[in-house]
Structure 1
Amino acid sequence: MKLFSNTIQSIEKAITFSTAKQKVTSNNIANLDTPNYKAQEVRFNQALGNEMQKLQALKTNNQHINFGSSSSNYRIMSRNSTRYQQNGNNVDIDQEMTDLAKNQIQYNALIDRLSSKFNSLKTVIKGGN
Structure 2
Amino acid sequence: MNLFGSTIQSLENSMNYSTAKNRAISNNIANVDTPGYKAKDVVFKDMLSAEMSSIPTKRTNTRHIDFQSRTGTSSFQTITVQNSTYNHNGNNVDIDKEMNELAQNQIQYQALTSRISSKFQGLERVLRGGN
TM-score band, normalised by shorter chain: 0.7 to 0.9
**Separation (CA, whole Å) in 2 of partners of 1:69 and 1:24:** 21
Cα distance change of structure 1 residues 69 and 37 upon mapping to structure 2, 3 Å threshold: closer
**Separation (CA, whole Å) in 2 of partners of 1:22 and 1:76:** 11
Q: Which residue of 1 aligns with 2:60?
A: none
Matches within 5 A, 1:40-55: 40-45=40-45, 46-50=47-51, 54=68
CA RMSD of aligned residues (A): 1.9
- SS of the residue 2:38 aligns to: coil
When structure 1 is superposed on structure 2, of 36-45 and 15-24 the one drifting more is: 36-45
- SS of the residue 1:76 aligns to: strand
**Separation (CA, whole Å) in 1 of partners of 2:104 and 2:51:** 25
TM-score, normalising length: structure 1? 0.83
Letter in 2 for 1:11: L
Letter in 1 for 2:95: I
2:24–2:42 Cα contact (<8 Å) kept: yes
**Separation (CA, whole Å) in 2 of partners of 1:47 and 1:106:** 18
**Quick check: 1:126 aligned with 2:128?**
yes
After the TM superposition, list the runs of 4 or more consecutive aligned residues in structure 1 that deviate by more than 3 angstroms: 50-55
Unaligned segments of structure 1, at least 5 residues: 56-67
Unaligned segments of structure 2, at least 5 residues: 55-67
Q: Which residue of 1 aligns with 2:38?
A: 38
Question: Following TM superposition, by how much is the alpha carbon of 1:114 offset from its aligned partner in structure 2, in angstroms?
Answer: 0.1
Q: Which residue of 2 aligns with 1:78?
A: 80
Q: What percent of counterpart residues are identical?
A: 49
2:11–2:116 Cα contact (<8 Å) kept: yes
Matches within 5 A, 1:1-129: 1-45=1-45, 46-50=47-51, 54=68, 70=73, 72-129=74-131
